[in-house]
Chains A and B, each alone.
Chain A
Amino acid sequence: MDQVFGAQLRATLNVIPAYTWYATPSGALTFVNERSADYLGLPEDHPLRFGTDSGAVWDSHLPMLHPDDREATRNVWAECLQTGLPGEVSFRVRNGEGNYRWFGSRAEPLRGNDGTLLCWIGINFDIDERKQAEFYLAAGERLAHTGSWAFTPAGFEHWSPELLAIHGLDPASPPPSTQDYIALVHPDDREFVTQQIQAMLAELRGFDFTKRIVRPDGSIRSVRCVGTAATNSRVVTFVGTGIDVTEHEELMKALRKTEMELRQTLDFAPQLICVFGPQFEPLYANRTCLEYAGVSDDEWRQGGPHTHPDDLERIKPLAEQALSTGMPFEAEQRVRRGDGSYRWFLARYNSVRDEDGQIIRSYISCTDIDDRKRAEERLREENVALREEIDKTSMFEEIVGSSPALTAVLSRVAKVASTDSTVLITGETGTGKELLARAIHRRSPRAARAFVAVNCAAIPRDLIASELFGHERGAFTGATQRRLGRFELADGGTIFLDEIGELSPEMQIALLRVLQEREFERVGGQERIHVDVRVIAATNRDLQAAIVEGSFREDLFYRLNVFPVEMPALRERQDDIHVLVEYFIGRYARKAGKTFRRVSKRTLNQLRAYPWPGNVRELQNVIERSVIVSDTEDLQVDESWLSAAPRMESRLGLAGAVAAQEKAIIEDALRACGGRVFGPAGAATRLGIPRSTLESKIKALKIDKARFRMGTKRP
């Protein structure tokens, strides 16, 4: 290069507001402009400021560069020198303070008209900030496992080092061709990815998908690709990112697996489990819940609550309080089943809140307690029946006595007690028929269950059906609630039908049906109710005579008379009178706070001689009365209490008194003759009057002859 040209070139390069330089055709750096020289901190007389030949060679400038960049620069510079073609390279140059900055350098050959290489001219651009940004970007990409790319219809223009690293490629390598890229995609995902690229190019739209790649080392990674069309490019260009989401995918897979296992566990749980969102919108119900409600998942989400309306009303205040305090709570409630029926559940409510205290999830778990509730209900009803029995004053004593007549009965009872056979107990009033019935129940396998007694004579005819079989709400005026009947209360236990002879013909038919089929309907109801009940019946009427009269059904009699037991009258158990007296004295004396040393022999004989038409009950009353009136330690019994004939009521008047006396005499005679009117052993003979006279008197005085037949009812 001649001097003039050199001076002109130097002057030109000095005015360019950039870092410029030139080198000899051999590549030796000869000149740097003032800006460059000032940056390098060269002294004012340094040869590079003037273009003076300093003996430098083609790579003498390399020490000015960062050691890490020298190799690349040398290679590029050598390529340029060898080919004579321009070249570009980026490197860091040390300034006068010893710090480095990035520069992008381009070298161009300057040739003469004849093509002779005159020199190399170069220009360096300060790209330090850009490089810093690239560095931080690369660091960010590395940390985020995210790389960037740029794509045109001709192929990939750019892959960031991180993207290359994600794909297992050399971070310094150029971006792969489209074919090489597809080859990196997992074979199962290639078709999908190819379609996405084609759609992207055809429709100029962005995309967001996740694909699997197979790295050169064989490992498989998941990469999420997000791309969008670049808006400020003349050529169709797409830019985007590739994010290594392998760990995330594996976490999600594990999470899905855990969730699936949890759902399976919840599905197999016997409880009904539901999850609700912040506004109590339904989110999830386990399989048990859906099967119970008979709905699909969608139907459950869209349907309303399955709780019984009455229970919703009751639970609402509890729920509101719990929600306000954030505390879990429990409630017993009925839940509707798929068939429309309801079962009782214990529902446990629990909620989860976020940091601000807002409910984000509510969980409800319901445990079936229907069997327990029904057992409680049954127990409650049994207890009510039991309470009514306990309220009676005289029914819990054991049967006292050891006379042959009583022993024979108890021996028979012992045989039948352990069976389920129906027992018909007959006997005069006050002989202890109910005591015997209870004894049978206590010795039966049903002793642990209810003993329900019904006095058929004490209940009005209009109500006996309701009493025995129950009624539904609204079955009749006065039926304000459903009521369980005595048969239902006695389910599993024993029902005692006292005074069975007093049942109306309609009730006899109903009872016969129940005894035959063990089923009935409540009054006003349609549901057939099956009960397992052992029946014990009792009467002091002569049922055979009632059958003849037509007031008692023969078929019902034979249903009841499976195992007849007759309670002996007290007069047939004279041996038991003493022990019964002692028993009642002990009971009532304790109550009265008295002590009795003895009962005189005279008193005992009086008691034994009395026929006791009222049997044990009458004896009980007499003893109680005696205890009250006795002032000494010897029990005193007023003889007037033991008169067989009823006292005359002075208010009756003379005619009435005569009629009452006549009636008593005739009844005594009939009793003594076993109800027989005529014949040698009949009452007419006994009284010394004609049979016809006696018959007319019997009719006029309204005496029921049948009562006086053997074992028949006594007044």
Chain B
Amino acid sequence: MKVARQLHYPRRMALLKIHRTMDGPVVFTISGDLNTESVGELCQLIAAEPRGAVVTLDLTDLILADREAIRLLRDCERDARVVLHNCPTYIRALIAAEDLRL
């Protein structure tokens, strides 16, 4: 019987794709992992939208979000900058927990 061993190897880069719809309301479909490294890119995309425009983030295929990502989503939603669509229950719970932390 072989037993799994704890080995330390560099983690593979998380996969993320952000797809923006080109017509109608602006929807960013987030697929994959949203983490500290990729949060900046999402911020830039949102900031690049016209002032006052509300952006929808479709989180159907969001697999993982770390604390930085949760904070971004919370802050953008609070500023009415984004609307979270198909938000996974655990993401909603984490956002609520972040609010309590404040």
Contacts and interface: CB of A to CB of B under 8 A. Distances in A.
A380 to B, nearest CB: 7
Interface centre among A380, A385, A477 (most CB of B within 10 A): A477
A480 B38 contact: yes
B63 A460 contact: yes
A383 B41 contact: no
Contacts of B32: 460, 462-463, 478
A393 interface: yes
Contacts of B16: 478
A383 B9 contact: yes
B54 interface: no
Interface in B4-61: 4-13, 15-20, 29, 31-32, 37-38, 41, 45, 60-61
B19 A398 contact: no
A384 B11 contact: yes
A478 B12 contact: no
B62 to A, nearest CB: 8
Nearest to A523: B17
Contacts, number: 81
B100 interface: no
B8 to A, nearest CB: 8
Contacts of B45: 477
A463 B17 CA distance: 7
A132 B82 CA distance: 109
A462 B19 contact: yes
A587 to B, nearest CB: 8
Interface of B: 1-13, 15-20, 29, 31-32, 37-38, 41, 45, 60-61, 63
A476 B17 contact: yes
Contacts of A383: 9-10
Contact of B9 (A387, A458, A462, A479): A387
Interface in A356-405: 380-381, 383-388, 390, 392-393, 395-398, 400
A384 B13 CA distance: 9
A466 interface: yes
A400 B63 CA distance: 33
Contacts of A396: 2-4
A99 B10 CA distance: 99
A387 B11 contact: yes
Nearest to B38: A478
Contacts of A709: none
Contacts of A463: 15, 17, 31-32, 61
A384 B15 contact: no
Contact of B41 (A386, A398, A478, A583): A478
A478 B18 contact: yes
Interface centre among A387, A461, A462, A583 (most CB of B within 10 A): A462
A324 interface: no
Nearest to B40: A480
Contacts of B9: 383-384, 386-387
A566 B38 CA distance: 42
A398 B15 CA distance: 31
20 contacts: A387-B7, A387-B11, A393-B4, A396-B4, A398-B1, A458-B63, A460-B32, A460-B60, A460-B61, A462-B19, A462-B29, A462-B61, A463-B32, A466-B17, A476-B18, A476-B19, A478-B16, A478-B17, A478-B18, A480-B38
A142 interface: no
A583 B1 contact: yes
A392 B6 CA distance: 11
Contact of A477 (B10, B17, B63): B17
Nearest to A458: B63
Contact of B10 (A380, A458, A479): A380
A458 B63 CA distance: 9
A479 B18 CA distance: 9
A263 interface: no
Nearest to B20: A477
Closest 5 CB pairs of A and B: A460-B61, A387-B9, A462-B31, A478-B16, A477-B18
A487 to B, nearest CB: 14
A466 B10 contact: no
Nearest to A479: B17
A337 interface: no
A308 interface: no
B12 to A, nearest CB: 4
B64 to A, nearest CB: 11
B31 A460 contact: yes
A395 B75 CA distance: 40
A566 B2 CA distance: 24
A385 B7 CA distance: 12
A481 B2 contact: no
Contacts of B63: 458, 460
Interface string A441-471: 0000000000000000010111100110000
Contacts of B60: 460
Contacts of B8: 387
Given A384-B11, A477-B20, A461 B61 contact: yes
Given A386-B7, A463-B31, A463-B32, 15 more contacts: A387-B10, A390-B5, A393-B4, A395-B4, A396-B3, A460-B32, A461-B61, A462-B31, A467-B15, A476-B19, A477-B20, A477-B41, A478-B32, A478-B41, A483-B13
Interface in A476-497: 476-481, 483
Contacts of B6: 390
Contacts of B11: 384, 387-388
Contacts of B7: 386-387, 390
Nearest to A489: B12
A290 B17 CA distance: 44
Contacts of A458: 63
Nearest to B16: A478
